[in-house]
Structure 1
Amino acid sequence: MFVVLVYDFAQKRVNKALKIARKYLHWVQNSVLEGEISDANYIKMKKELEMLMNPEEDSIILYTFRTKKYSKREELGLKKGGDENII
Structure 2
Amino acid sequence: MYVILVYDMDKRRVGKMLKLCRQYLNWIQNSVFEGEITEVKLKELLAYAKLIMDEKTDSLIIFKSRQEGWLEKEVIGKEKNELDNLI
TM-score with structure 2 length normalisation?
0.92
Whole-angstrom CA distance in 2 between matches of 1:82 and 1:14: 22
Residue 68 of structure 1: aligned partner: 68
Task: State whether residues 13 and 53 of structure 1, in contact with CA within 8 Å, keep that contact through their aligned partners in structure 2.
Answer: yes
Task: State whether residues 4 and 62 of structure 1, in contact with CA within 8 Å, keep that contact through their aligned partners in structure 2.
Answer: yes
2:30 aligned partner, one-letter code? N
1:22 aligned partner, one-letter code? R
Q: Secondary structure in 2 aligned to 1:35?
A: strand
CA offsets 1:4-50 (integer angstroms, 9 cap, x no match):
00000000000100100010000000110000001110100011101
1:18 aligned partner, one-letter code? L
Structure 1 residues 1-87: aligned runs within 5 Å: 1-84=1-84
Moved over 3 A (4+): none
Q: Secondary structure in 1 aligned to 2:35?
A: strand
Percent identical across equivalent pairs? 38
Aligned residues: 85
TM-score with structure 1 length normalisation?
0.92
- Give 1:56 shift: 1.6
Q: Give ranges in structure 2 of 5+ residues lacking alignment.
A: none
Q: Give ranges in structure 1 of 5+ residues lacking alignment.
A: none
- Give 1:83 shift: 3.2
* Aligned Cα root-mean-square deviation (Å): 1.2
Whole-angstrom CA distance in 2 between matches of 1:62 and 1:83: 19
